[in-house]
A and B are shown apart, each in its own frame.
Chain A
Amino acid sequence: MATDAISTLRADTASLPFVVKLHEWVITVDHKRLGIMYIIYALVFLMIGGVEAAIMRIQLIRPHNNFVSPEVFNRMFTMHGTTMIFFVVMPMLFGFANYLLPLMIGARDMAFPRLNAFSFWLTAFGGILLYFSFLGATGLYGDGNAPDVGWFAYAPLTSKTFSLGHSTDFWTLSLLVSGFGSIGTAVNIIATVFCMRCPGMTLAKMPLLAWLNLVMAVLVILAVSPLSAAQIMLAVDRYLGGHFFDTQAGGSAVIWMHFFWIFGHPEVYVLVIPAFAFASEIIPVFSRKAIFGYPVMVAATVCIAFISMSVWAHHMFTVGMNANANTFFVLSTMAIAVPTGIKIFNWLATMWGGKIHFKTPMLFCIGFLFQFLIAGLTGIMLSAAPFTWHLGNSYFVVAHFHYVIVGAILFATFGAFYYWFPKMSGKMYNEKLGKLHFWLFVIGFHLTFDFMHIPGLLGMPRRIYTYEPGRGWDTLNLIVTIGVFFQAAAILVFVANLLWSYFHGETAGSDPWDAWTLEWSASSPPPAYNFAIIPEVRSRRPLWDRKHPEDPDWKYE
């Protein structure tokens, strides 16, 4: 009966004119549509941010290159960083959280559907506002257009004196707007997880993805709010003539750094915890084993979130803090490696003895595991203050955090794309193109970011638009830039795969992976109401129980 209703619904939608369909998407409060809009929005900005990265790398391909001017180079690294963090990774992860959470906890929508739509549009307009600066920011006195103060926008560079025109205003306002969107989404995620679970799904029986997104949302509330506060202060300084970060009037430039990194470090975990969540769902399914150490995984995540609130000043070792502060932040930063290590061992233990299927999502998750480990190791190196005194603001740091964000977060997110694409579109992706994407991206990633460590160790500072020949950086920079072309090719294969599979892919069916969580019990794509009958669960793997009534999980949990 339900199936009939769905097929009639689809036939109706298919025949509607484009404008009507577009209108339906614009006014929608459905968590699945909003999720998909978040994801598509993030993909568009991924392309834009990628082009900006490519422009920088082409400029640095050889010494004394003149591909872009220093001014444009400054704009590119500012826009690349801001875009990738706030308008690619965050919306991407919010998109997946939006789409998956209600389905995985057996609910029909998020707790506040209209707040959900509001948050999406805030984020969307935040991104548009940032990019409008290319057109609109040449003010009367301005000598530039797009923001060029770096993605952490240190004072006093952001003051009226040094940042003429309106480019910095665009930066601060767009982050303020999208920050409110993020807080709205976080409120929604927490309320959804606490208040919308289907009967029987106690907190201890939730899929790990729900748990980890809950922790992520708590971190968003605790981390993005300080950023919003700091942006309000910056706006007060720039618009009302305040003195928060004005050293001429006794203000402090260092307090901006503190406020920014109080946001900035937990933000890393806001981004990486959902990536952990993807790995925690994908690795068990493709290892054909239940996740190893579920309670420990949850505890480790909560622990990471807790410690991540007290490590921010490791971004400021080179600023010149006193010895006590340095010691505290060195130790707290190193402490984070413990719960993170526990998680890595749990994923490995899940794979250990499993029957591993090397499908594209699993390949990306294995890449994630390997690269996240290396990213963590360079992180431990940088957590030692004397090491950072030597290498702070060098390409070693750039290589380290790109290893986290690209090597870990983006890899896990690609895994999530391939894993849930059949659910979202109803079609299977092309496995060959998926594997081609994986290998191209692995090669490109390692060419770029492995070799980027070395010029850093040799003393190449970040954010320089060109360099002298003969310092031993030339060949390395060439290799780094060559890797970018591999990555760009991989992204094109990825997008082509998504588009081609959406129109011509094989029908996926509701459960192509023989998986265990509730989203696979709905049809693909799920109907607007998700579940005709709200499911009841008795274990962490409800679909396992349904498929194996002779040996259900709930007898052992």
Chain B
Amino acid sequence: MNAQPAVISDPNITWELPPRGRVGMFCLISAESAIFTIFVVAYLFYIGKSLTGPLPRDVLHAPIFFTICLLSSSLTIHLAVKSLKRPKLGAFALWWFLTLALGATFLAGTAREWHHLIYDEGLTIQTNLFGTTYYSLVGLHGFHVTVGLLAITTVLLFALLGYVRQEHAERVDVLALYWHFVDAVWVVVFTVVYVIGR
């Protein structure tokens, strides 16, 4: 009585569905985009509304080098996935490590910038609206970079132990998708904070 096939089988039906990992990641990216949108709107809305200093034009310097690091890590992760698909496992590990290194450099750059702002310029999250919105928006992005780096490190450890093989390329690709998103968000954050906001 249970679960008979519901209708007559039709050999002409070819049935292909999208991979769920990618669909799931695209959904997550949409949700994250909505969260970032609200923070970006808050940042834009509060530009020039701080009652006290320090102001962005006095203390912010565009982190060009670290931005190049982060954006080029999108290229290296793409090359890593491409190598895994072939499969060239050595090249994969190398590109993957390079992605990790570039991402970590970016994060170190953010840390250095924050250290400078807090200790040299006296700007904290409590100082004024600029501080509140700046640390929240850049911090939210930095949090996403951190999560990405943890995931990338996990995959790297598995790769070094020899567990990552060609059949995992699709899953690794899903992680790469997230990383591309983190990079794309930085383009927006950079534009808003260091170009428009200054």
Chain A residues packing against B (C-beta within 8 Å):
2-3, 6, 106, 111-112, 115, 183, 186-188, 190-192, 194-197, 199-200, 217, 221-222, 224-226, 228-230, 232-233, 236-237, 240-244, 249-252, 255, 259, 262, 510, 518, 521-523, 526-527, 530-539, 542-543, 545-546, 549, 552, 554
Please list the residues of chain B having a beta carbon within 8 angstroms of any beta carbon in chain A.
Answer: 1-10, 13, 15, 17-20, 23-24, 27-28, 30-39, 42, 45-46, 49-51, 125-126, 128-129, 132-133, 136, 140
Contacts of A241 in B (CB 8 A): 125-126
With A183-B31, A222-B30, A240-B125 known as contacts, the answer to whether A195 contacts B19 (CB < 8 A) is yes
Evaluate contact between A250 and B4: CB separation under 8 angstroms.
Answer: no
* Distance (whole angstroms) from the CB of B33 to the closest CB of chain A: 8
Among A186, A192, A230, A249, point to the contact of B128 (Cβ < 8 A): A249
Give the 8 A-B residue pairs with the shortest CB-CB distance, closest first.
A225-B34, A229-B38, A535-B6, A531-B3, A195-B20, A241-B126, A242-B132, A542-B6
Q: Which of B1, B27, B129 interacts with A251 by CB under 8 Å?
A: B129
Q: Is the CB of B10 within 8 A of A221?
A: no
- CB A343 to nearest CB in B, in angstroms, measures 25
Residue of A nearest to B30 (CB): A221
B5 touches A229 (CB 8 A): no
Whether B23 contacts A242 by the Cβ 8 Å rule is no
Given the known inter-chain contacts A241-B125, A242-B132, A259-B38, please indicate yes or no for A538 contacting B15, CB distance below 8 A: no
Question: Contacts of B128 on A, CB cut-off 8 Å?
Answer: 243, 249-250
A2/B7 in contact, CB under 8 A:
no
Find chain B residues with CB under 8 A from A534 CB.
5
Q: Are B3 and A225 in contact (CB under 8 A)?
A: no
A532 and B129 contact, Cβ closer than 8 Å, known pairs A190-B23, A229-B38, A252-B45: no
A233-B42 in contact (CB<8A): yes
Closest to B133 in A: A244
Given A196-B17, A259-B38, A535-B6, A233:B23 Cβ within 8 A: no
Residue of A nearest to B32 (CB): A225
Give min CB distance, B3 to chain A, whole Å: 4
Among residues of A, the one whose C-beta sits closest to the C-beta of B48 is A250
Cross-chain contact B51 with A249 (CB below 8 angstroms): yes
Q: How far is the CB of A295 from chain B (nearest CB, A)?
A: 21
> What would 11 A/B residue contacts be, using CB atoms closer than 8 Å?
A183-B31, A187-B28, A194-B20, A197-B17, A199-B15, A226-B38, A241-B126, A249-B129, A521-B6, A531-B2, A546-B4
Given contact pairs A112-B24, A230-B38, A535 touches B5 in the complex (Cβ within 8 A)? yes
Are A195 and B6 in contact (CB-based, < 8 A)? no
Q: Is the CB of A187 within 8 A of B129?
A: no
Query: Which of chain B's residues have a CB closer than 8 A to the CB of A228?
Result: 35
Does the CB pair A199–B13 fall under 8 Å? yes
Cross-chain contact A536 with B129 (CB below 8 angstroms): no
Complex alpha-carbon distance, A542 and B50, angstroms: 62
Given contacts A229-B38, A243-B132, contact A191 B5 (CB under 8 A): no
The A/B interface has a contact count, at CB < 8 Å, of: 172
**Cα of A241 to Cα of B129 in the assembled complex, Å:** 11
User: In the complex, which residues of chain A have a beta carbon less than 8 angstroms from the beta carbon of B125?
Assistant: 236, 240-242
- Asked if B28 and A2 sit within 8 Å, CB to CB, the answer is no
**Are B6 and A191 in contact, CB atoms less than 8 angstroms apart?**
no
User: Do A186 and B129 form a contact, CB below 8 Å, given A195-B19, A225-B35?
Assistant: no
Residue of B nearest to A252 (CB): B45
A6 touches B2 (CB 8 A): yes
Nearest chain B CB to A106 CB, angstrom units:
7
| B8 CB → nearest A CB, Å | 7
Contact of A538 with B7 in the complex, beta carbons under 8 Å: yes
Q: Return the chain B residue nearest A200 by Cβ.
A: B13
Contacting pair B9 A522 (CB below 8 A): no
The docked-state distance in angstroms from the alpha carbon of A224 to that of B42 is 17
**B31, chain A: closest CB distance, angstroms:** 5
Which of A188, A230, A536 makes the CB contact (< 8 A) with B6? Answer: A536
Q: In whole angstroms, what is the CA distance A24 to B7 when docked?
A: 35
In this complex, what residue of B is CB-closest to A222?
B34
Contact, CB under 8 Å: B1 / A523: yes
Beyond A224-B31, A233-B39, 12 extra complex contacts between A and B, CB < 8 Å:
A6-B2, A187-B31, A191-B23, A194-B17, A194-B18, A221-B31, A236-B132, A243-B132, A244-B42, A530-B3, A535-B6, A542-B7
B20 in complex: contacting residue of A196, A232, A249, CB < 8 Å: A196
Cα separation A208 to B110 with both chains bound (whole Å): 48
A533 to B1, CA, bound (A): 12
Contact A536 B9 (CB under 8 A): yes
Q: Which residues of B contact A115 (CB under 8 A)?
A: 24
Contact of A3 among B2, B7, B37 (CB under 8 A): B2
* Complexed CA–CA distance, A115 and B28 (Å): 12
Residue of A nearest to B38 (CB): A229
Expressed in whole angstroms, the minimum distance between the Cβ of A9 and any Cβ of chain B is 12
Write out the residue numbers on chain A whose beta carbons fall within 8 Å of the beta carbon of B17.
Answer: 194-197
Are A229 and B24 in contact, with the CB atoms below 8 A? no
A250-B129 CB under 8 A given contacts A200-B10, A545-B7: yes
Give complex CA distance A233, B13 in Å: 51
CB distance from B153 to the nearest CB of A (A): 22
Residues of A near B18 (CB, < 8 A) are 194-195
| A-side contacts of B20, CB under 8 Å | 111-112, 191-192, 194-196
